[in-house]
A and B are shown apart, each in its own frame.
Chain A
Amino acid sequence: MKGEKEMKKRILALLTVMMMLLLAACGGGDADSASGSDSGKDSGGEIKIGSVIDASGSASPLGKGEEETIKMIVDELNEKGGIGGKKIKLISIDSKSDQNEAVLATKKLIEQEKVTAIIGGTISGNSLAMIPLIEKAGIPYVSLAASKQVNNPDDKSPRKWTFKTAQGDDVVIPKLLEYLEKQGLKKVAWLNVANSYGTSGHEEFAKLAGDHGVKAVIEEEFEATVNDAKSTLTRVKKAKPEAIIVWGTAQESAVVTKNIREIGMDVPVIESHGIGTKQFVELAGKAANGVVFPAGKLLVLNELDNNDPQKEKLTAFKEAYESKYSNAASTFGGHAYDAIHILAEAIEKGGTDKEKIREALEQTDGFIGISGTFKMSPEDHNGLKSDSLVMVKIDEKGEWTLGE
């Protein structure tokens, strides 16, 4: 028994020491950040911008491109002399596709790094977790996530400081419905992946379909890890839809698309902007042929009219990105491109005063970016309309072409 008590005493002592160490560590952190901001003041001009992006983990196929784009643009802006003569200092934190990491990163940026503005929240869940902190602290924030809850929540919780550059479901779904209406496809089957991306798309679809005379004859979900969706599709087949909508990202959508063809259904397949990567074509193989989906214009750059206002920007972005990194430029990187540029313009106008930056963001009008031409307002913190999208069709060679 004696040894045990002794042990307990030691452990408690150890705990105390650990807490001390913790204290020292934080103290150190404080000193660091303090000196950091001091030196910032000394040099007379440094604007700290923080980013919280899922560069690793399950959302990294989206996040990687966003992080790289932001780094690239910040370097570019700094080479040109920064914003209004001040260099940008980017503090980039990887939130690892994890909500808790995103929350801690946001706290760190606000409290420790004392940044002027924040970009990020690759996936909707992370953005939604970050927003309460951001609204409380009053920091201009540009989200990269798609869900409409980010800028226009159902519960009307405040979004004074929150902006976003990704096309939300409230922009993409109307585009899809317009297309269905134009093609005369009225009875459709709706299939979405069982995650927040798929379900928020579904909610928007259910809300708006009636307005366009479109009716879902069957609505189903499939898992993000689906191996074989033929079982679910037997029910879809029985419902005899005129077209099938598959709302998911590359891997699971590819499985479902293959299965649709394998099971012998030859109706048109319309999918989401989440499949706008080459992986989809690679994974779905022949079944990808003929699939139509709404997407940013980046995918069909070569086919764009020369007088399309976005063409120049898109070409420049694609060339700059692909000469610097090994991956192809993605529309997700495009969201980050738009975010940092819109923010830079707002800081140019508003200086480092947060409220002034916010006002300037709200007045963004006519900014031509990768995802479209932005016109924000106090009511609309996204500023994109469905004309920022095009319908893209995958041809026999697996190439993207304009589908309209």
Chain B
Amino acid sequence: MNHSRVNDLYNRHYGGLFLFIVVLAIVPFFVNSFFLSVLILVGLYAIVTTGLTMLMGYAGQISLGHAAFYGVGAYASAVMTGTHGMPGIVGVLVGVILSIVIAVLIGIPTLKLKENYLALATLGFGIIIFTFFKELKEITGGLNGFFGIPSFSLFGFSFDTDLKFYFLIWVLLIIGILFSKNVIDSRVGRALRSIHGSDIAANSIGVNIQQYKLKVFVLSAVYASVAGSLYAHYVTFINPNLFTAMESINFLIMVVIGGSANIWGGMIGAIVYVLLNELLKDIVPVFFPNVGGEFQIVFFGVLLVAILIYMPQGLAPTLGKLWGRLVGRKSKKQAVTGPPNADATVGGSK
């Protein structure tokens, strides 16, 4: 492989990122406030799904309890700022610390094991945490919910409008994605991909696979917790039903839609999931006037299965390929002749 060509690709790669960021920065000035809040919600989901994407795609594990980490963050912030009047950052940090402790406690015993015991443990943990949110009434307000959470402020700057909040969320998301890329592209991350997640091969080349998996799991819990904290500040009212096992499964659906083979997949999944949801709301009644939101439930269930069977890499690589083909035909100079199969596909999920 020609050296300058590699550099060229790198540059173009960052060019794309730059363009994307520019678009992100412009978008909010062209949309109404409703769509801005949709984008904020997408951003919050995307922070969670980025962590999950990393966990699924690069550590080969799934979590059925990330809504609980999301909830830990949300309640930590609610209690710290709402009850104790602390600054917003304290709530975020408390949530993060709690999440790290919980993730380490769950991760150490289960990640050693073969099979997918992390999935089972996170499922159990999710339900236990849900029970605590529900039963610790003095602290969480129980099922009546916790209301009156102040808006988020950092060093005296208050994120009290949707526009400010939008930038906060998306800047955090981009930082989160870039940081994840860093972890994935680390020595261990690359080694792991090169051996397609085989434990034996990993040990034979001296890679501590458990430690890497634990690191990824903890990081994904932290992402979820931070997103949860900010969510609480954004809607100002939370209740335990927001953090059920079903919510964890929705996060997984987003990851699967986007595809876990690429770190951007989580974000794509969140965008597509929310957009589809909004679209279905407008389209379904046209064809089935008497069918309500139930149809969407069936739709997402079937979509999930279909994607996993026919497009196991999710939308990101498939759409990426389509795009490449389109562009490749137009610009001859660029000569996109790389193997159609992306080695971006990682072994972790195999």
| A-B interaction | yes
Residue B343 CB within 8 A of the other chain: yes
Residue A320 CB within 8 A of the other chain: no
Chain B residues within 8 Å of A3, by CB: 338-339, 341-344
- Residue from the list B23, B134, B144, B323 in contact with A200, Cβ < 8 A: B144
| Interchain CB contact under 8 A, A7 and B262 | yes
| Interchain CB contact under 8 A, A112 and B268 | no
Interface size class, chain B: 35 or more
Which label, helix, strand, loop or mixed, suits the secondary structure of the B interface? helix
Residue A42 CB within 8 A of the other chain: no
Nearest chain A CB to B315's CB is how many angstroms away?
9
Residue B324 CB within 8 A of the other chain: yes
> Beyond A1-B343, A12-B264, A125-B145, is A26–B32 a contact (Cβ under 8 Å)?
yes
Residue B138 CB within 8 A of the other chain: no
| Interchain CB contact under 8 A, B24 and A7 | no
Nearest chain A CB to B209's CB is how many angstroms away?
21
| Interchain CB contact under 8 A, A199 and B292 | no
Name A51-109 residues within 8 Å CB distance of B: 55-57, 60, 93-94, 96, 99-100, 103-104, 107-108
Which label, helix, strand, loop or mixed, suits the secondary structure of the A interface? helix
Nearest chain A CB to B103's CB is how many angstroms away?
25
> Beyond A1-B1, A157-B148, is A19–B32 a contact (Cβ under 8 Å)?
no
Residue B143 CB within 8 A of the other chain: yes
Chain A residues within 8 Å of B341, by CB: 3
Name B235-258 residues within 8 Å CB distance of A: 235-237, 239, 241-242
Interface-located stretch among B14-22, B106-114, B199-207:
B14-22
Residue A8 CB within 8 A of the other chain: yes
Nearest chain A CB to B342's CB is how many angstroms away?
4
- Residue from the list A8, A99, A111, A131 in contact with B344, Cβ < 8 A: A8
> Beyond A18-B268, A22-B27, A128-B147, is A12–B32 a contact (Cβ under 8 Å)?
no
Q: Give Cα A47–Cα B24 distance, bound, in whole angstroms.
A: 36
Residue A226 CB within 8 A of the other chain: no
Nearest chain B CB to A36's CB is how many angstroms away?
13
Q: Which residue of A lies closest to B296 (CB)?
A: A96
Chain B residues within 8 Å of A108, by CB: 34
Residue A267 CB within 8 A of the other chain: no
Q: Give Cα A194–Cα B130 distance, bound, in whole angstroms.
A: 12
Interface-located stretch among B4-12, B59-67, B89-97:
B4-12
Q: Give Cα A10–Cα B12 distance, bound, in whole angstroms.
A: 10
Nearest chain A CB to B278's CB is how many angstroms away?
8
- Residue from the list A13, A104, A129 in contact with B38, Cβ < 8 A: A104
| Interchain CB contact under 8 A, B30 and A23 | yes
| Interchain CB contact under 8 A, B32 and A56 | no
| Interchain CB contact under 8 A, B235 and A199 | no
Q: Give Cα A399–Cα B214 distance, bound, in whole angstroms.
A: 61
Query: Apart from A11-B317, A19-B24, A199-B143, what 6 extra A-B contacts exist at CB < 8 Å?
Result: A5-B10, A15-B267, A18-B271, A22-B27, A30-B32, A56-B293
Can you list 14 A-B contacts (CB < 8 A)? A3-B341, A4-B344, A5-B9, A6-B342, A15-B264, A19-B23, A23-B31, A25-B275, A96-B293, A128-B237, A194-B143, A196-B143, A199-B143, A199-B144
Instruction: Report B's interface with A, CB cutoff 8 A.
Output: 1, 5-6, 9-10, 12-13, 16-17, 19-20, 23-24, 26-27, 30-35, 37-39, 41, 134, 137, 142-145, 147-148, 235-237, 239, 241-242, 262, 264, 267-268, 271, 275, 281, 292-294, 296, 316-317, 319-321, 323-324, 327, 336, 338-339, 341-344
